[in-house]
Amino acid sequence: MQSTDFPHVGNGAVSLLLDARGPGLPSVLHWGAPLSASELDQAPELARALDRPVPSGGPDTAVTVGTLPEHAAGFPGRPGLRGHRQDGAGWAPVFTRTELRQESAGSLVVTARDVEAGLTLVSETELDDSGLLRLRHRLRNDGPGPYTVDALEGTLPLPAQATELLDFTGRHCRERQPQRRRLHDGTWLRESRRGKPGLDATLGLLAGTTDFGFRHGEVWALHVAWSGNHVAYTQRLPEGHTLLGGGELLLPGEITLDPGAEYATPWLCAAYSERGIDGVSAAFHGWLRALHRQGGRLAGPVTLNTWEAVYFDHDLDRLRTLADTAARCGVERFVLDDGWFRGRRNDRAGLGDWYVDEDVWPDGLGPLIDHVRGLGMEFGLWVEPEMISPDSELCRAHPEWLLAPEHRAAPPARHQQVLDVARPEAYAYLLERLDTLLTRYPIGALKWDHNRDLVAAQHAGRAGVHAQTRAVYELLDTLRQRHPRVSVESCASGGGRVDLGILERTDRVWASDCNDALERQAIQRWTGVFVPPEMLGAHVGPTRAHTTGRRHGLGFRAATALFGHMGAEWDIERGASEPQRERLAAAFALYKRHRELLHGGAVVHADHPDPAAWVHGVVARDGGSALFCYAQLAMSDHAVPPRVRLPGLDPAGRYQVRLEHPAGAPRKRGREVPEWWAAGGTVLSGRLLERVGVQAPVTDPEDAWLLSLERLDGRDESFGEVPD
């Protein structure tokens, strides 16, 4: 029987052990490696062993920390709750626990009150089977007057062995670039004030033991599941406290609670791994996959998007011909991008006028949709509902619908402004327009874009990013309820809105507007830490990349896109030769052959010793098959590359290892290719493949190879299943 003094939320992947002996909020004794039943029985002795000494110059009693640090309890760092009443009262509450409810090993609810401050706090903790831990707080105003919430953030303490921090930055067409640093005293703070996570958003914070990698070291990770302004931070204090924390970044006056009202934070998602970054991915991927399996929307059809093929030049005959070519190549979803609605001949007009342009489409979209569906493909459509062009009928009719201060527009960006979706009239207009389109036409997918930051976003006389984000969630939820079979892709100038808040409501994210395969290798590698392959849009672009001007072979481009939700963004009708189309069709066929594996297996990365090459793959949950990619990103320092080790396999299983070409024959043959590659493969145990490896060929920079593995001797029951 679990002690109520030491509540535990845990499973075979992670343990969160709390100390609830006192009257206040529980503190965290342990967040990390899973604890056994016998170890949990020793919780009282463990708590005694972990009693903190009292340092000189501080409070006379030890200060402990849980999921909400309290200033008035003596914590000298960043308080979890920052707020006040109009007279300045209630700014430093001290909560007394009134209830602790644990209905299962994966659920805990703690309720606490500060009667004098007139506040009630409810802290919820949920643990998914995959090992993803989710935390949130709800604050209710029980006092007689309004209470302003400046911040309400969750935290999890880190152990002292977490010495390094990995997070991410980026820009348009170069999102999710990693940066590592030592954890030092002080605060490492990452904020987004863009009205969305942003192209430079960190996506997550990963703290770990020294030199942790994909397959080694302990790692503690945190992600804020919110699609508006947010904050994530680490803090280490001289008193020995080290925290991971985060939440919504609230602008002045956004949350003022009237008596009886409450504010709920976004979910703070956390994961622990004792086997490197790949273990963190297993937790995040598992949670997202379970969520989307419940909705029955996990297919990953081969997608062609028309943007880089035709841009704004919408011509029915040309698009029909493009659709014919796409179908012959094996495309399963045809998405008509920007330019189909009234006045949209360029990017300076039309946003908000969500009616099919009668001049370009005199018979509506029906003729194109019928043609696409007649070829056996699903039809998709691009929209950008949250934005409005000053040069649009909607803006001329309703300039007051802009999300901006009265009588003053926000600075222009991409020749557009933001529509105040939280305004009831604007919300109703968008819902009617999108619902009408989805009802009138058999549209199977929406590409939902968001192409500018929110600047001076004012709603109803106050800062409006929170209200805008909630309204967009509601709009998406309502449309999904009315049209449950419609898939939605989240795009925001590419990868500017990638978070678990939006992914609760959408089926994939567009990782970047950059289709340069070399850039995409890094973008997808790091986005994929949190997002599983089937939710990560990855397209084969033209030979010469639209955004960088680089030229890459089709094999490298195809191998890069294969490990995501694969598609093409390329004028394959006019801009590709027949041999190129044949090779693209072969790549799509390879993707379909391995799709179940790619979109259901465990994502793994080798900690390869040569920084000029990356090795990653997907291993089936039962270890029965795997597909790996060896990507040569740059010229190696070595004339002969080092051996390639393949992680995550059944150690006792015997695997047939074969070379797969992502899009036709490789560039090089002869002595630069090991004999076993040319001879059709080899057979080795999973243990040898992971611990010793195989020899890679001499490979040109910006080229890639694939290895396909099948276990020959049936399932080893001792191996079990690779977690999602």
Query: Which active-site residues does the annotation give?
Result: 449, 513
Q: Are 16 and 8 in contact (CB under 8 A)?
A: yes
Q: Which amino acid is at 480?
A: R
Q: Report the alpha-carbon distance of residue 8 to residue 2 in Å, rounded.
A: 8
182, 195, 443, 546 from 318: Cα distances, Å: 55, 38, 20, 20
Q: Which amino acid is at 498?
A: V
Q: Report the alpha-carbon distance of residue 538 to residue 92 in Å, rounded.
A: 48
- 124: its two tokens: 């919820």
Question: How would you write 184-208 as a 3-class SS string?
Answer: CCEEEEEEECCCCCCCCCCCCEEEE
403, 472, 492, 493, 671 from 195: Cα distances, Å: 11, 12, 11, 13, 55
Q: What is the DSSP string of 227-244?
A: SSSEEEEEEE-TTS-EEE
Q: Is the dihedral of CA 20, 22, 23, 29 positive or negative?
A: negative
Which are the contacts of 713, defined by CB distance < 8 A and separation ≥ 6? Answer: 653, 654
Q: Report the alpha-carbon distance of residue 682 to residue 675 in Å, rounded.
A: 10
Q: Which residues of 191-217 are buried (b: 16+ CB within 10 A; e: fewer)?
A: ebbbbbbbbbbbbbbbbbbeebebbbb
- 496: its two tokens: 């500017």
Q: Are 565 and 540 in contact (CB under 8 A)?
A: no
Which region holds residue 233: left if phi is over 0, alpha if psi is between -120 and 50, else beta? beta
Q: Which of 504, 498, 546 is nearest to 526 (CA)?
A: 498
- 506: its two tokens: 């959408």
Identify the bridge partners of residue 516 per DSSP, sorted by sequence position: none
Burial class (CB in 10 A: 0-12, 13-18, 19+), 654: middle
Q: What is the Cα Rg of the chain in Å?
A: 27
Q: Are 556 and 521 in contact (CB under 8 A)?
A: no
Determine how many CB atoms are found less than 10 A away from the CB of residue 14: 25
Q: Report the alpha-carbon distance of residue 106 to residue 674 in Å, rounded.
A: 50
